Structure 1
Amino acid sequence: MRLVQVMVPAGKRETVLGVLDDEGIDYAVTDETSGREYTAVVSFPLPTSAVEPVLDSLRDAGLERESYTVVVDAKTVLSKKFEALEATYEADEDTTGDRIAREELATQAQELAPQFSTYVLMTVVSVVIATAGILLDSPAVVVGSMVIAPLIGPAMATAVGSVIDDDALFGRGLKLQVLGFATAIAAAAAFAWFVKTVNLVPPGLDPTTIEQVSSRLTPGFLSLAVALGAGIAGAVSLRSGVSASLVGVMIAVALVPPTAVIGIGIAWGLPVVVLGSSVLVGVNVLSINLAAMTTLWYSGYRPDNWLRRDQARSATLSRIGVLVGAIVVLSVFLGGTTYVTYATAIAEQDVREDLDSVLDGAAYDDVALVELESVHTDRLWERPLDPMPERVVVTVSVPPDTAHPGLAAAVREAIAGDENGVDVEVRFVETQHAPSLSSTPATSPSPSSTPTSDERYRQREHDRTGQSSTRVGLARSSRQFSS
């Protein structure tokens, strides 16, 4: 609910009151005695969705657009007429629920976009914290950095400025986005370089081995869905007049961590890291702006001047077209990484199945799989259509003094056949187990049954963690064979 106060100029009093009477609106009139050009102040409550159409009706009746008007939030209104008016607007299919007025929308967007100095400072602090959290591989720190990131304001200001034809608001939002991200990348790179130079991280650290980094190197189409959802949520929260703080965190999720990863890639001189995270940031920024602009336009926001509506429509559609075109271009990269990720997962599943088929053989009854690692290195970038790993490392558990020198060759034959390019390394870990003194024959495995490699692996892990038996002694040695 809103309370609207309108300063009525001389000669417009009866016109304003006539419009309010026709709309069935309760109002109070106070004579203005300040000696200015206004003669009265009219105050009246309105449902949120009625503010814009009622103000438009007053302007159509001759109330100047420059007339002093204040719209404030109202907590409670007790009035029969107000209840009837609220029911009318709720039943009107042409109104959009809790959609706030155009003027309120512009004010909300301006308030969300802070002053440039404040915006840059908060963005730099946020991305530095995110960089530290990523290098620490601490999701909690990364999430904390998102809370303070002021990224929702500029995107919403750009969208609102476009749909209501406010060039100043549009330009301000665009400026904050471009300069803010440039500053954030520079700050992340400088901080990461400092951390690396003074050895605040282990020497020789490979950032690509950090989960917070590797997860942002190959963005797929799901990243596009996250960014579009964040943009829609931001626009809906803005048009509803509700707090956008939580939505701002969601937008920061799509923008802050990959921006920090760009800085890490620059500091460590890793072009692949910079490329992958830059594409992710670009797709997310474009998608958020596209979703917000489209949502607000679909919600019916237009300039208050009829003569400017065609101009706003042309400008908004042109900008939407540019955003869609840029996203389509970047989607080629997204499609490629999505395919590579899918193909790699299928290839790794096939490798595991081929390995199981070898270990299930009678010759390897005493061999249990401990770990399977597929190493791709740079093959995904050099040969994207070949999802097979460059190297496969298999770690198996065997009884003491047991040799299987042909296992590596058998595994390689099962995985790659006669094809070259896949190296297989088998590491043997000799293990020795003593049963728990409390063990009973009922809990011992039947000697007549031959467990599969998966069953042997699960049993070994079960025993190793001590959940069903106490490990009395363990002797280990390692051997490895390669093929």
Structure 2
Amino acid sequence: MLVHFRLTVPTDLTDAVREVLLTHDCATNVTVQLGVVARPEGDLLECDAAREGAGSLLTTLKRLDLDKRGGIVLTAPTGTPFLGARELEANTPGHPDDAVIWEAVEAKAYDGAVPTLSFLIFLVLAVVLAAIAVVTDSSVLVIGAMVVGPEFSAIGSACAGIALGRWSLVGRSLRLLVLSFAFAVVVVAVLALLASVTGMLTVEEVTRPRPNTGFIWHPDRWSFIVALVAGAAGALALAIERSATMVGVFISVTTVPAAGNLALGLAVWDRGEITGSLAQLGLNIAGMIVAGTLVLMLVRASWPSLMTTAERMFGR
């Protein structure tokens, strides 16, 4: 698996950047086009790099201040069916599936902390589904609400912010979590009140025993353990860009279902439902942030050595 580098380079940096690309062990297909960049004026240099070594190449380019004075664009080719690519990957330490490009992690983290309209809509829809799951005691709808919920992007952003020392990012992420959940819960609580007024919802439907969904507002030690495991898995998936694993995280932690139960508890003003839901919600978010941060710190500190050890133990 290769990463394509497209570099917009000021003329006075071209020779230095060209030398870096030609001498770096993980780079190939180096091309130089002089004077073709119109804005900002400069030269265009491109190369393909083994994903395992892309992070070190990017670090070297940033030491030349190319990220400040020029432009760096990374893309992932859909395929690289040539012998040189396979040889480059074989000769670069590590495996492409384990590669971490911290600049990409940081960029995703900042994107995940933005309070977009789509984030709020998805969260409201997820909490609506969760509330319906509570009323109907449907575990299937609970899973659906977990999948729709977008909250892990903000949780992952908080983890990355702590691990990378970007405290403004941490603040933005936590603010997004608090305000978005508060907004979604209030919206669904209002809808539940309207449903109660029109006879669609009764207090008994919310407070009766629910064998299939009662767990979402009864936090215990296992809730926290699940949150720790899910946070660790989600943070690792964020670092190595495993979207399929992220979906598994979405359906393992009861943040959104707890918010749905909280909204209904507020609508019928049942203190047990309210306090239990708040405890579950807070426990899950705290557990994921703690575990996710620890995993990202571990990856940042010792991931290359861990990859080397894994290769020795299990082979390439």
Q: Deviations over 1:247-279 (max 9, x none)?
A: 45226x420111111222222232222222211
Kindly provide the amino acid, as one letter, of the partner of residue 6 in structure 1.
L
Kindly provide the amino acid, as one letter, of the partner of residue 136 in structure 1.
T
Could you say if the C-alpha distance between residues 266 and 74 of structure 1 is closer, same or farther in structure 2, counting changes exceeding 3 Å?
Answer: same
- Is 2:56 the counterpart of 1:53? yes
- 1:65 match: 67
- 2:311 match: none
* Contact 1:150 1:248 (C-alpha < 8 Å) held by counterparts: no
**Structure 2: unaligned runs, 5 residues or longer:** 303-316
| Percent identical | 22
- Is 2:36 the counterpart of 1:33? yes
Alpha-carbon shift at residue 155 of structure 1 (Å): 0.8
2:12 partner SS: coil
Matches within 5 A, 1:223-262: 223-243=223-243, 246-247=247-248, 249-250=250-251, 253-262=253-262
Alpha-carbon shift at residue 15 of structure 1 (Å): 1.6
Alpha-carbon shift at residue 199 of structure 1 (Å): 2.1
* Contact 2:100 2:240 (C-alpha < 8 Å) held by counterparts: yes
Could you say if the C-alpha distance between residues 266 and 43 of structure 1 is closer, same or farther in structure 2, counting changes exceeding 3 Å?
Answer: same
- Is 2:184 the counterpart of 1:184? yes
Alpha-carbon distance in 1 for matches of 2:153, 2:122:
12
1:216 partner SS: helix
Kindly provide the amino acid, as one letter, of the partner of residue 260 in structure 2.
A
Alpha-carbon distance in 2 for matches of 1:107, 1:301:
19
Matches within 5 A, 1:11-22: 11-22=12-23
Task: Give the number of the structure whose alpha-carbon radius of gyration is greater.
Answer: 1
TM score, norm. by length of structure 2: 0.83
**Structure 1: unaligned runs, 5 residues or longer:** 303-483
Higher relative contact order (CA 8 A, sep 6+): 2
Alpha-carbon shift at residue 118 of structure 1 (Å): 2.5
Alpha-carbon distance in 2 for matches of 1:44, 1:206:
60
Kindly provide the amino acid, as one letter, of the partner of residue 177 in structure 2.
Q
Alpha-carbon shift at residue 208 of structure 1 (Å): 3.7
* Contact 1:3 1:72 (C-alpha < 8 Å) held by counterparts: yes
Could you say if the C-alpha distance between residues 114 and 147 of structure 1 is closer, same or farther in structure 2, counting changes exceeding 3 Å?
Answer: farther
TM score, norm. by length of structure 1: 0.56
* Contact 1:230 1:250 (C-alpha < 8 Å) held by counterparts: no
1:211 partner SS: coil
Q: Deviations over 1:418-469 (max 9, x none)?
A: xxxxxxxxxxxxxxxxxxxxxxxxxxxxxxxxxxxxxxxxxxxxxxxxxxxx
Matches within 5 A, 1:398-417: none
Q: Deviations over 1:52-96 (max 9, x none)?
A: 111212333x343312011001233355554443223335xxx89
* Contact 1:48 1:98 (C-alpha < 8 Å) held by counterparts: no
Name the structure with the higher helix share.
2
Alpha-carbon shift at residue 179 of structure 1 (Å): 0.3
Kindly provide the amino acid, as one letter, of the partner of residue 293 in structure 2.
M
Alpha-carbon distance in 2 for matches of 1:35, 1:204:
69
Could you say if the C-alpha distance between residues 218 and 168 of structure 1 is closer, same or farther in structure 2, counting changes exceeding 3 Å?
Answer: closer
RMSD: 2.7
Kindly provide the amino acid, as one letter, of the partner of residue 73 in structure 2.
V
- 1:90 match: 93
Kindly provide the amino acid, as one letter, of the partner of residue 279 in structure 2.
V
- 2:132 match: 132
* Contact 2:147 2:251 (C-alpha < 8 Å) held by counterparts: no
Alpha-carbon distance in 2 for matches of 1:172, 1:118:
17
Kindly provide the amino acid, as one letter, of the partner of residue 22 in structure 2.
D
Alpha-carbon distance in 2 for matches of 1:63, 1:262:
50
Could you say if the C-alpha distance between residues 246 and 101 of structure 1 is closer, same or farther in structure 2, counting changes exceeding 3 Å?
Answer: same
- 1:277 match: 277
Alpha-carbon shift at residue 12 of structure 1 (Å): 2.0
111-120 or 6-15: bigger deviation: 111-120
1:281 partner SS: helix
* Contact 1:6 1:68 (C-alpha < 8 Å) held by counterparts: yes
2:92 partner SS: helix
Kindly provide the amino acid, as one letter, of the partner of residue 172 in structure 1.
R
Alpha-carbon shift at residue 213 of structure 1 (Å): 5.0
1:209 partner SS: coil
Alpha-carbon distance in 2 for matches of 1:149, 1:229:
18
Q: Deviations over 1:344-379 (max 9, x none)?
A: xxxxxxxxxxxxxxxxxxxxxxxxxxxxxxxxxxxx
- 1:23 match: 24
Matches within 5 A, 1:11-410: 11-24=12-25, 25-26=27-28, 27-34=30-37, 38-60=41-63, 62-66=64-68, 67-78=70-81, 82-91=85-94, 98-113=98-113, 115-201=115-201, 204-205=204-205, 207-212=207-212, 214-243=214-243, 246-247=247-248, 249-250=250-251, 253-300=253-300
Kindly provide the amino acid, as one letter, of the partner of residue 128 in structure 1.
V
Could you say if the C-alpha distance between residues 83 and 49 of structure 1 is closer, same or farther in structure 2, counting changes exceeding 3 Å?
Answer: same
* Contact 2:7 2:44 (C-alpha < 8 Å) held by counterparts: yes
Could you say if the C-alpha distance between residues 166 and 47 of structure 1 is closer, same or farther in structure 2, counting changes exceeding 3 Å?
Answer: same
2:9 partner SS: strand
